Structure 1
Amino acid sequence: MMGNRLSKIATRTGDDGSTGLGDGSRVGKDNLRIQALGDVDELNSQLGLLLCESLPAALREELVSIQHDLFDLGGELCIPGYTVLADAHLARLDALLEKYNATLPPLKEFILPGGSRTAALAHVCRTVCRRAERSVVMLEKAEAGVNAPARQYLNRLSDLCFVLARVLNREAGGQDVLWQKGRER
Structure 2
Amino acid sequence: MVTLTRIYTRGGDKGQTSLGDGARVPKHALRVEAYGTVDEANAVIGMTRLATRAHPQADSMLARIQNDLFDLGADLCTPLKQDEQPGQALRIVADQVTRLEAEIDAMNAELAPLASFVLPGGTEAAAQLHLGRTVVRRAERLMTQLAETEAVNPQAIAYANRLSDHLFVLARWLNKQAAGDVLWVPGANR
Residue identity opposite 2:102 in structure 1 = A
Distance apart, 1:121 and its partner CA: 0.5
> 2:76 and 2:115 mapped to 1: Cα distance?
38
User: Does 1:76 find its partner at 2:83?
Assistant: no
* Percent sequence identity over aligned pairs: 48
State TM-score, norm by structure 1.
Answer: 0.94
> 1:147 and 1:158 mapped to 2: Cα distance?
18
Q: Which residue of 2 aligns with 1:138?
A: 145
Q: For the aligned residues, what is the CA RMSD? A: 1.2
Q: After alignment, is 21-30 or 56-65 more displaced?
A: 56-65
Distance apart, 1:83 and its partner CA: 4.7
Output one character per residue of 1:127-147: Cα deviation in whole Å (capped at 9) or x when no partner: 011001111111111212x10
> 1:100 and 1:93 mapped to 2: Cα distance?
11
> 1:153 and 1:44 mapped to 2: Cα distance?
14
Output one character per residue of 1:87-133: Cα deviation in whole Å (capped at 9) or x when no partner: 11111011001011111001011111111111100100110110011
> 2:12 and 2:157 mapped to 1: Cα distance?
28
| Matched residue count | 181
User: Does 1:110 find its partner at 2:117?
Assistant: yes
Distance apart, 1:77 and its partner CA: 1.0
Runs (4+) off by over 6 Å: none
Unaligned segments of structure 1, at least 5 residues: none
Q: Which residue of 2 aligns with 1:98?
A: 105
Q: Is the 8 A contact 1:83 1:147 kept in 2?
A: no
State TM-score, norm by structure 2.
Answer: 0.91
> 2:98 and 2:63 mapped to 1: Cα distance?
17
> 2:20 and 2:5 mapped to 1: Cα distance?
16
User: Does 1:86 find its partner at 2:84?
Assistant: no
Unaligned segments of structure 2, at least 5 residues: 81-88
